[in-house]
Amino acid sequence: MATVTYLEAISMGLREEMLRDSNVYMIGEDIGVYGGAFKVTKGFIDEFGEDRVMDTPISEAGIIGVCVGSALMGLRPVAEMQFADFISCGFNQLVNQAAKLHYRWGEAVPMVVRCPSGGGVHGGPFHSQNPEAWFFHVPGLKIVSPSTPYDAKGLIKAAIRDNNPVLFFEHKYLYRRIKGEVPEDDYIVPIGKGEIKREGKDMTVIAYSSAVHWALEAAEQMQKDDGISVEVLDLRSILPYDKELILQSVKKTSKAIVAHEATLTGGVGGDIAAFITEHAFEYLDGPVKRLAALDTPVPYSPPLEAHFLPNKDKMLKTMRELAAF
């Protein structure tokens, strides 16, 4: 076991997969000599050479498009978007070409698109977004988003081995702030499987990525201050999400909050809330609540951004509202 940051865990996973399978290669802007804008692939070009660690022109449609082509020819590309926000420039290649290819001609498209996402870093409207919901609506894509170093390493490895296009949302705020123990040997975290990060009996918070952290902090405080026991379910995978685990937990606690950092309307939380009411209605003792960012672009100035983002305090408030039922 080694104690590493969330960022180092992703890096470890990528490196292990590069060593394990010579068909795996990395592609993106400034990922070679510079090691990526966040240094996730630092040193990779020296270890694996330019053919497997490819710096590209500023061409997101190009990056994602060549991933599709080369995946069909037997490679397993891992693309890096410099910021998740720039994935919009490669949207067509992802949602129309990559996502629908297997359905249309039965050929697999094993590729990963890594997306450094999330706010709280004063990046403003174009360096802070959580765009997973844009892709949640697209059959054929898979989406994962880890909250811990252990899950980050296990999920990036699972994503690379998966035979489908997988979007890997890695949260910039967590990169260097979250540390944890990570086995140095091979393991994967299966796509589609959530995990109970904290056991509880009075309510369930279903969250992923940064939201897991404020859910855990708020749960701790609810226990201490209000004597309420909160279960925290980390989805880890957003598409597909772990329906079985959600039902199991909600049937036990009878109360549910769905939390994410992305904006509220049309977000992933709405679908999960609908799923719960459809399948566990008779178990519920209150409405399924959602906690998410406000329905605006991500503002830049610190007071505006703090107001925009969900956080531990807003989580506590939501928990108390639900506990009142």
Partner 1 sequence: MATKKKLNKKPVKSKPAKTQSAAAAARNRQEKTFLRAADLDLEKFEPTNEQKKDLYYYLLLNRAFDDRVAKLYRQGKIIGAAYGSRGQEATSVGSTYALGKDDIVGPIIRNAGSIIVRGLPVKNFLSNFVGRSTTPTRGRDGNSHLGDLELGVFAPISHLGSLVINLAGCALAFKIKKQPRVALTYIGDGGTSTAEFHEGMNMAAVWKLPFVCIIENNNWAYSTPTSHQNLTPDLAVKGKAYGIEAIVMDGNDVMEAYRVSKYAIEKARAGNGPILIESKTMRMKGHAEHDDAFYVPKEQFAEWQKKDPIIRCEKYLLDHRVITAQENEAIKARVAKEMEDAEEFALNAPFPNSGDGVTGVYAD
Ligand X SMILES: Cc1ncc(C[n+]2csc(CCOP(=O)(O)OP(=O)(O)O)c2C)c(N)n1
Site for ligand X in 33-62 (CB under 6 A): 58, 60
Q: Which of 188, 294 has the CB closer to partner 1?
A: 294
Under the binding rule (CB under 6 A), the answer on residue 170 touching ligand X is no
Residue 80, binding choice from ligand X, partner 1, none, Cβ under 5 to 8 Å by partner class: none
Under the binding rule (CB under 6 A), the answer on residue 80 touching ligand X is no
Q: Which of 69, 302 has the CB closer to partner 1?
A: 302
Residue 300, binding choice from partner 1, ligand X, none, Cβ under 5 to 8 Å by partner class: partner 1
Name the one range near partner 1 by CB under 8 A: 54-62, 180-188, 231-239, 282-290. Answer: 54-62
Say if residue 57 is preceded by a cis peptide, omega within 30 of 0.
no
As a whole number of angstroms, the distance between CA 79 and CA 112 comes to 6
Burial of 323 (0-12, 13-18, 19+ CB in 10 A): middle
Q: Which of 22, 59 has the CB closer to partner 1?
A: 59
Least distance from partner 1 to the Cβ atom of residue 159, Å: 25
Whose CA is closest to 113, among 58, 69, 156? 156
Least distance from partner 1 to the Cβ atom of residue 35, Å: 9
As a whole number of angstroms, the distance between CA 34 and CA 29 comes to 9
Residue 301, binding choice from partner 1, ligand X, none, Cβ under 5 to 8 Å by partner class: partner 1
Q: Which of 63, 238 has the CB closer to ligand X?
A: 63
Catalytic residue among 122, 127, 213, 279: 127
Q: Are 252 and 285 in contact (CB under 8 A)?
A: no
Q: Which of 22, 301 has the CB closer to partner 1?
A: 301
As a whole number of angstroms, the distance between CA 324 and CA 186 comes to 45
Under the binding rule (CB under 8 A), the answer on residue 37 touching partner 1 is yes
Site for partner 1 in 86-115 (CB under 8 A): 86, 88-89
Query: Which of 8, 17, 85, 202 touches partner 1 (CB under 8 A)?
Result: 85
Q: How far apart are the first and last CA of the chain?
A: 43
The residues, ordered by sequence, that sit 6+ positions from 208 with a Cβ below 8 Å of its Cβ are 145, 147, 234, 235, 236, 238, 260, 268
As a whole number of angstroms, the distance between CA 122 and CA 148 comes to 22
Query: Which of 43, 125, 190, 240 touches partner 1 (CB under 8 A)?
Result: 125
Under the binding rule (CB under 6 A), the answer on residue 29 touching ligand X is yes
Q: Is 307 a catalytic residue?
A: no
Alpha carbon 304 to its chain centroid, in Å, reads: 24
**Bridge partners, residue 77, by sequence:** 25
Under the binding rule (CB under 6 A), the answer on residue 89 touching ligand X is yes
Query: Which of 55, 220, 226, 271 touches partner 1 (CB under 8 A)?
Result: 55
SS3 content of the chain, % helix, strand, coil (to 5): 40, 20, 35
Whose CA is closest to 319, among 240, 239, 216, 197? 216
Least distance from ligand X to the Cβ atom of residue 94, Å: 14
Under the binding rule (CB under 6 A), the answer on residue 82 touching ligand X is yes
Q: What are the start-end ranges of the E strands in 24-140?
A: 24-28, 53-55, 76-80, 111-117
- Binding residues for partner 1, rule: CB under 8 A, are 29-30, 32-34, 37, 55, 57-62, 83, 85-86, 88-89, 121-127, 294-297, 299-308
Just list the catalytic residues.
127
